[in-house]
Every structure is written in structure tokens, then in C-alpha cells.
Amino acid sequence: MAAARLTLPSPAKLNLMLHILGRREDGYHELQTLFQFLDYGDDITFAVRDDGVIRLHTEFAGVPHDSNLIVRAAKMLQQQSGCALGIDIWIDKVLPMGGGIGGGSSNAATTLLGLNHLWQLGWDEDRLAALGLSLGADVPVFVRGHAAFAEGVGEKLTPVDPEEPWYLVLVPQVSVSTAEIFSDPLLTRNTPPIKVRPVPEGNSRNDCLPVVARRYPEVRNALDLLGKFTEAKLTGTGSCVFGGFPSKAEADKVSALLTETLSGFVAKGSNVSMLHRKLQSLL
């Protein structure tokens, strides 16, 4: 068992829309959002060890080892399952921090699913998703691995199958604090809930966009530039900005024009996470 080794993808997500319905008594916000995955993300390598030690070998600037969501996810699963095994972890990091594309949450979910497989725990998706929710509101959608309409704080998930276009994602060189955006007094907090599934056309806005664009000129600039070619949207609380295209060739064409001055990447939208496709192939 101690020789078991596995590399798994940790995909990005987009919020195709994000409506904020109100603030709850516990300080969290009630929201409605539409999650879709990208066939683009980090790669995480796991190697089982038999001494119970959990070690992330990749360093993250400004993030202490034991505070990293990957380590927290591994330790929580180890404790709650009573597993005596440990794990060595390395990550090939391409997803930006504070980008709104779910890097940390995705890493936590890949860790939970990867260790469930390697440690042979036999936990089902519901149990892993419940554990993931205690790590972050976006972790359950990555654990479940299917595009979803989300409600509550993002944990009540209804699987959906939106179109899967090619996206150009621009990555302004700023890290946006989710807490800062959600505490902004000018944030819209009274959007009426959508009752229709799937989300009807014309309801694809992000209520965080005006606040983020006002606070971060780099994001505003990316929205303006991409908006000349397609509808430019903000994912999550930012900073990443995205637009859909009917083909890879069209996305690549606009990317070539814009990524001279801005970082970015082209990726296919996917309603089934590439992590889950990889795990299925292992069965």
C-alpha cells in the first residue's frame, strides 16, 4: 500500500451567473449561482506513506503548511475515517489564487477524492461533500463533479447541463478577497430568486461585478478589452474574467490579441469534471 501513487487533475470552475439574494444572520450570503467546470487546472500527485504523516511538499507563498486547504482536507479525512496511513503530496499549480475559479476549493476536493481512493476508505460522494462543505462553500460541487445550479451558500446543488462552449479566461494580476467583496456596503443583496431551471436567458449577470470593477482597475480593464469581442463576465468574486466562443479557433484568435498585455488561457467548458472522468477510468 505504501507504494501507491496517483496523479489527479484539479479543475477550474466558472460561475456562469451569481445572484446574491440576501445576508443571513450567521453573516453568510444566500445566493444562486451556476457552476461549470473547465478542462484546465492543477495536477496533484499523491504517494501513500504508512507512518500516518501528511506532508505537502510544494510551498505556497504566504500560506503556512498546516493552513493550506490541501493539508486541512487530508488531515480532516484522516481523522474522521480513522485511517492510519499518511500521504506525500505535490502540486503543479497553474490556477491563480484569488481568481474566482475555485483553485483552493478544487484542490481540497481532489485531495478528498484522491485519498478516499488511495486509502481505500469507501466513502460515498454525500459523505465526502459534507466533509468538504466544512472546508469551503465551493468544495461540494468539485466533490460531486457535475455542473450545477447552486443555492444556499452554494451547497444546495441541482445538476444541470448548460452548453459547453470554449472560453477565453483572462487573469488580471490581482488577488481579490472574497470577504472584502461580500462586506462591501454597495454590494447588491436583494436580487429576487430565480424559480426556473435551467437559468433563463438574461439572468446571467454577476452581482459582484460592479463592486469588483470599482475596486480593481485591472479587472475593469480586462472586462473592457474582452467585451469588445464577446460578452465579458466575472467569475465568482473575481479576479478572472471570461467570455464564451463557439469554437477553439475563435477563442484562440481573440486570445492571441489580448494575451500580449494580459495573462490568460483558453479552455473547454465541461459539465463533467475532468477529475471525475479520470477517477472513472481507474475503476
The closest alpha carbon to 177, from 222, 136, 236, belongs to 236
Residue 85 and residue 48: Cα distance in Å, rounded?
7
Under 8 Å CB-to-CB from 60, ≥6 apart: which residues? 68, 93, 97
104 is in an annotated binding site: yes
1 is in an annotated binding site: no
Crossing angle of the two packed helices 274-282 and 103-118, in degrees rounded to 10: 10
**Cβ atoms of residues 41 and 159 within 8 Å:** no
103 is in an annotated binding site: yes
98 is in an annotated binding site: yes
Residue 184 known to be catalytic: no
Catalytic residue from among 42, 138, 207, 233? 138
106 is in an annotated binding site: yes
Residue 242 and residue 99: Cα distance in Å, rounded?
11
Catalytic residue from among 13, 39, 207, 233? 13
274 is in an annotated binding site: no
Residue 268 known to be catalytic: no
181 is in an annotated binding site: no
Backbone angles phi, psi at 197, to 5 degrees: -120, 135
105 is in an annotated binding site: yes
100 is in an annotated binding site: yes
27 is in an annotated binding site: no
Under 8 Å CB-to-CB from 278, ≥6 apart: which residues? 8, 9
Binding positions for ATP = 96-106
Binding positions = 96-106
- Residues tagged active-site: 13, 138
